[in-house]
Amino acid sequence: MPDHAAAAAPGAAPGVVRVTVAQVAVSDDHAANRETAVDAFQVAARAGSGLLVLPEYASAYDPRGVGPEHAEPLDGPFVTLLRERARKHGIAVVAGVTLPGSDGVRAANALVVVDAAGELAGVYRKVHLYDAFGYQESELLEPGPADAEPVTLRLGGLTFGVLTCYDLRFPESARRVVDAGADVLVYPAAWVAGPLKAEHWRTLLTARAIENTAVVIGVGMTGKGVTGRTLLAGPDGVVGLEMGEEQAYRTVDLDPAPLAAVRQTNPSLANRRYTVVPTGA
C-alpha cells in the first residue's frame, strides 16, 4: 500500500491551504484508476486537506500513448466520481483526464479543476504537446488553444493555477498564469523517464518557482516508463518536498505569508519589462 506522511502542522494559521499530492501509478484500466482516485480522496480527507492533486492522465494511461480510446466526456465516470468525492469530503481536486477531441479523430489531454462543493471550476487543455524525445503526442491528441484564459482556483489565502507536464519547458506559459493571479503553479505530469529527464524535471520546476516568485508543485505519475519524483519548490527556490519513484502520498501546508515576504524582497514580477502574448497557434 502507498505510504502517507503529513508535513502539515495542526492548527494552521488563517489562509493556509493544506494540500495532498498523490504520486500514484495509473493503468489503462479505467475502473482501477477510479479506485485509485477514491483512495487518494480518503488519504486527503484523513489529513484534513483542502486540495488533492492527482497526476496527468489520472483517468487512464498507456506508456505507448493515450488517444481517443481512453477519452471520457466531462460527464463521464471519472470526472463524475471526482465531483462526487469532492462534494462528499469537502476537498477540491486537480486531476489529469483525457477528453474527446473536437475533430473526432484525436482526443484532448486536459486537467479538470473541481472545487470543494463538487462543481467543475475549470478545464485546462494542454497547449504544448509532447512532440519531443522521440514521442509524437500530437498524433493522438489535439493541442488546447494557446489564447484560452488561464485556469485558476482560489483556496484560503492563495490562488492556484494549473499547467500540464511538457508545458513546464515553456516559461511563458507559467508567467501567463501568474499574470492571471496565481500564487501556486500546479503541474500534474507523466514525466517520461530517460537520460537527464529527472534532472530536467527538478531544474525546471525550481526555475519556474524562482522566476515567478511562486510556489511550484510538480505531481508526477509513478510506474513503468515515468519518473515520479513529485516536488514542491518555494518562491525562493528552496525545495520543501521531494519524492522518489515510489507510489506514495504526501501532505503539506502552504502559507501565503512567506510567499508575500519573498515577493516583497524580490519584486521581479514588478520589475519586468516584457509581457506574454499568446500566438494563438
What is the set of active-site residues? 56, 126, 165
Q: Is residue 103 within 8 Å of 64, Cβ to Cβ?
A: no
Dihedral (CA of 25, 16, 232, 204) sign: positive
**248-254 and 17-23 strand pairing:** antiparallel
> Phi and psi dihedrals of 15, rounded to 5?
90, -15
Q: Are 126 and 167 in contact (CB under 8 A)?
A: yes
Q: Residue type at 66?
A: V
Q: Which helix (H) or strand (E) holds 261?
A: helix 256-265
Give the closest residue to 28 by CA, choosing from 253, 225, 259, 178: 225
Residue 168's Cβ-side half-sphere holds a number of Cα atoms within 13 Å equal to 28
In single-letter form, the type of residue at position 178 comes to: V
The one-letter code for the residue type at 205 is L
Phi, psi (degrees; rounded to nearest 5) at 92? -70, 160
Q: What is the dihedral of CA 154, 156, 159, 162, to 10 degrees?
A: -70
Compute the Cα dihedral for 66, 72, 73, 78 and give only its sign. Answer: negative
- Looking at residue 170, the DSSP 8-state letter turns out to be -
